[in-house]
Structure 1
């Protein structure tokens, strides 16, 4: 953190510190893929000079694009998690370390509705968001599909199945990862909880990380992606689709936020992205809600 002086929780802070907290609280909304940015990157996607196949704004800041998960190269990489060693390395690359994360007690309180001013209802939304973004091997989500409780593991595709059995992008307006925005707005539940529970240092660390610049790109990407919230990747003359949560800026934003909550959870995020089967991508894009019944398309993920 350099020589920056941190105000102690509960004490009066200067105007610059207050502005920093407000900005961070606005940006925290991106954790659940509803980004609020202080900058705007507008217009249609333009070609990037990197070789990942993503275009601006979906590629994010060039300095960090290499940090995001690459396209898988073998079937055994599908939906596999990062692992702790790689997660810690990535954290360092985006400007974070374990000392920036909430303490075990702070995370336990936040995720259960405890602590000063805690809310169980708010905690359930936050936990649901983390579960969606860490839906990798060993961490299935269960949904009601054709009358049966059905597991699914789809994070590497940038998709998930909601409790009612609909397949969608985590950036869909139906998802907790968007609905949580009211909790994360400046002056809202999350900001109040963090201030009152000694997490000011964590907020400042996040604000100083790659999260800030990536949030602007993520915000722009979502504004031009319609109801489907999918991203087109084109490399070597081949185009494919992936859900918004696996685009470099969104993935890095989510990684940074989950890492400061609990580094062990960030280690469960997907290590590679996988193209959505074309039939499924076409159906999601054709749907006015960006959702399709998982039961109708599950066979494409087998």
Structure 2
């Protein structure tokens, strides 16, 4: 999901307390049951690249190469995919523009309209998309030390919540973690799609790499504790990044957002960046996986 849904760029509707959207946890039991029947046009790659991630954080080998790679130059930090690359990735995970919601369907879902629409659910969805597409030109604004402060941290797999706390998007307090009540079987999103002539989009999503990757992502989140960070080790160097940048979670989120609006998927981060060690250590040491952004903002330059 990406942001011009309910709120304008750089604004966030709702808060983590909505407790309703995590494009990361995703449909639990439904995902696992669908994994066995997953079909997609993408083909397995003969030589899986050494991304530095391990199972389950690497996801299905056939799709690992589609996820963002570690940045190699400062100018890549928090840069978005762009539409051309987003469309190419979509094709390889089994999706096309024809599978996405129509402009009217997208507008209705994201504004609480349509049959059975909900402004509260729409606000949560918008917040989720804003977090996952917090790239250059799309800052999030939070209250930090009494001032409205922008931040752009998508490549790190981190974000600053409305109250000024730095955390992983997979933190239990984040909208991007609390998705189950909206997209679980029988939940709001599935019902809305069925009631608003968008079953084709739902079917396309389940037939794509989304299904198998969601199973890996769900497993990864269950073993990552409160911090919800992922360790990457390549060429003997270990670093950490937020859960949303691990291949299966990134691809799951990409597929969801692309189905909603391909232009928003194009705003997702194209590269991941290691979290500065003092910040990763602090998040892991925190009992709730959150630390004050004001204490660590300087590490991001």
TM-score by length of 1: 0.86
| 1:50 to partner: Cα distance | 3.7
CA distance in 1, matches of 2:48, 2:204: 30
Structure 1 consecutive aligned stretches of length 4 or more whose deviation exceeds 3 Å: none
Q: Give unmatched runs, 5+ long, in structure 1.
A: 1-28, 42-47
Q: Distance in 1 between matches of 2:128 and 2:53?
A: 25
* Matches for 1:25-44 after TM superposition, within 5 Å: 32-35=23-26, 36=28, 37-38=31-32
1:49 CA drift (Å): 6.3
2:291 aligned residue: 292
Residue 88 of structure 1 corresponds to 87
**Aligned partners of 1:40 and 1:219 also within 8 Å:** no
Matches within 5 A, 1:97-116: 97-116=96-115
Structure 1 pair 31–86 and aligned structure 2 pair: CA distance change class (3 A): farther
Alignment partner of 1:136: what SS? coil
CA contact (8 A) 1:40 1:217 kept: no
180-189 or 218-227: which moved more? 180-189
Superposed, 1:137-156 pairs within 5 Å as: 137-156=136-155
8 Å Cα contact 2:21-2:124 kept in structure 1:
no
What is the CA deviation profile of residues 212-233 of structure 1, one whole-angstrom value per residue up to 9, with x for unaligned ones? 1111110111011000000000
Q: Determine helix, strand or coil for the equivalent of 2:32.
A: coil
Correspondence for 2:226:
227
Structure 2 equivalent of residue 73 of structure 1: 72
Query: What is the DSSP-based 3-state SS (H/G/I as helix, E as strand, rest coil) of the residue aligned with 2:101?
Result: coil
- Closer, same or farther in 2 for the Cα pair 1:215/1:61, shift >3 Å? same
CA distance in 1, matches of 2:242, 2:274: 9
Change (3 A) 1:109 1:40: closer
Q: Does the C-alpha gap of structure 1 residues 52 and 259 become closer, same or farther in structure 2, counting only changes over 3 Å?
A: same
Shift in Å at residue 117 of structure 1? 1.0
* Alignment partners' CA distance in 2, 1:152 and 1:219: 27
Q: Which has the higher helix share?
A: 1
Q: Are 1:30 and 1:253, in contact at CA under 8 Å, matched by a contact in 2?
A: no
- CA 1:116/1:142 → structure 2, altered by over 3 Å: closer, same or farther? same
Instruction: Structure 2 unaligned segments of length 5 or more: list them.
Output: 1-19, 36-46
Distance 1:30 1:94 in 2: 23
Aligned partner of residue 63 in structure 1, secondary structure? coil
Instruction: After TM superposition, list the pairs within 5 Å mapping 1:14-53 onto structure 2.
Output: 32-35=23-26, 36=28, 37-38=31-32, 50-53=49-52
RMSD, aligned CA? 1.7
Retained in 2: the 8 A contact 1:244–1:250?
A: yes
For this pair of structures, how many residues does the alignment match?
A: 268
Q: What TM-score, normalized by structure 2, do the two folds share?
A: 0.86
